[in-house]
Amino acid sequence: MKTATMNRRKFLAMMSAAGLAGLAPGISFSREQMPVRQIPGTSEYLPVIGLGSTKPVGQIAERGTGPIAGVLRALVQNGGAVVDTWPSDPSNDEAFGQVISEPDLRDALFIASKIDRTGKREGLAQFSDIQRLYQRETIDLMQVFNLTDIKTQWATLQELKASGKARYIGVTVSSASLYGQLADFLAREKPDFAQVNYSITEREAEQRMLPMLQDKGVAVVINRPFMNGDYFRKLGDRPLPDWAADFGCESWAQFSLKYILPNPAITCVLTETTKPKHMAENARAAFGRMPDEAQRARMRALISTV
């Protein structure tokens, strides 16, 4: 069964039909199928590694659509589906919208986007832009970026979900300084998804935020797995330790991802890249063994010396 090339909706429908809903998170169905995790409270599953598209979309004016198309195809060919994106430059975003609408990608992707505006009218206008630029009536996941104008934009997202224009709705944060506001929001509301920064080098979410989201049944998307590249700059040319091979880890990128993935609160990890070979390497982190608790402690100890 070549599920890696099967379109996402067919695959998810097949899983439901086969009674596979409810299986433990992270279960792998074949060598090609990336491990998936359930969106809490639904029978829908998402592959555990996704793409954050800001940088490759931002380069379209300069480099054309070849790199972003290559990165998206590397994601899909390795069994991934989730793409987190939001409009920031209309001409780049229009070209990106054409790429994600190509026949092999259109149904293979789970598109997450964001409202980052203040004001009801501005938020709705941004959503209309997203629909037009990405050539979609319905967006899989709409999020309020960094809790911006949360009262207004959350009401808007609830309306978009009620009208079927957004399948899921949620919020994002990318800094521990926003965890207090996120906790206040979670005390009042129940988003489908929350996006949070977490990595082997930014571990604050481990203490309170990830357990809280898991307890509330919120799907969790992770951002900044490589601290937007600072992780690699800090590591420099330091060699990967031999013992990383004990959990199938072949690169520093996989080292961070394999640290993140065993956390049971997590649904999907976004990695941002402009290079198809990096996308494939990141996607492959989802396959094979994961570190156990003793190995994760050893990983933390090593990173604390960097």
Would you tell me which residues interact with ligand NAP (CB under 6 A)?
52, 54-55, 84, 114, 145-146, 172, 174, 195, 223-229, 232, 253, 270-275, 278, 281-282
Pairing status of strand 36-38 against strand 45-47: antiparallel
**Min. distance of Cβ 174 from ligand NAP in angstroms?**
3
15 vs 253, which CB is nearer to ligand NAP?
A: 253
3 vs 258, which CB is nearer to ligand NAP?
A: 258
**Min. distance of Cβ 288 from ligand NAP in angstroms?**
16
* Three-state SS at 55: helix
- What is the residue-wise DSSP string for 126-160? HHHHHHHHTT-SSEEEEEEGGGTTHHHHHHHHHHH
Phi, psi of 197 (to 5 degrees): -80, 135
**Min. distance of Cβ 67 from ligand NAP in angstroms?**
9
Contact between 261 and 269 under an 8 Å Cβ cutoff? The reply is: yes
153 vs 195, which CB is nearer to ligand NAP?
A: 195
223 vs 295, which CB is nearer to ligand NAP?
A: 223
Max distance between CA atoms of the chain, in angstroms, equals 55
15 vs 196, which CB is nearer to ligand NAP?
A: 196
From the list 235, 212, 210, 223, the residue with the least C-alpha distance to 299 is: 235
**Min. distance of Cβ 84 from ligand NAP in angstroms?**
4
270 vs 286, which CB is nearer to ligand NAP?
A: 270
**Min. distance of Cβ 18 from ligand NAP in angstroms?**
32
d(CA 68, CA 74): 10
**Min. distance of Cβ 20 from ligand NAP in angstroms?**
29
Task: Give the number of other CB atoms < 10 A from CB of residue 298.
Answer: 16
d(CA 60, CA 199): 28
d(CA 149, CA 251): 39
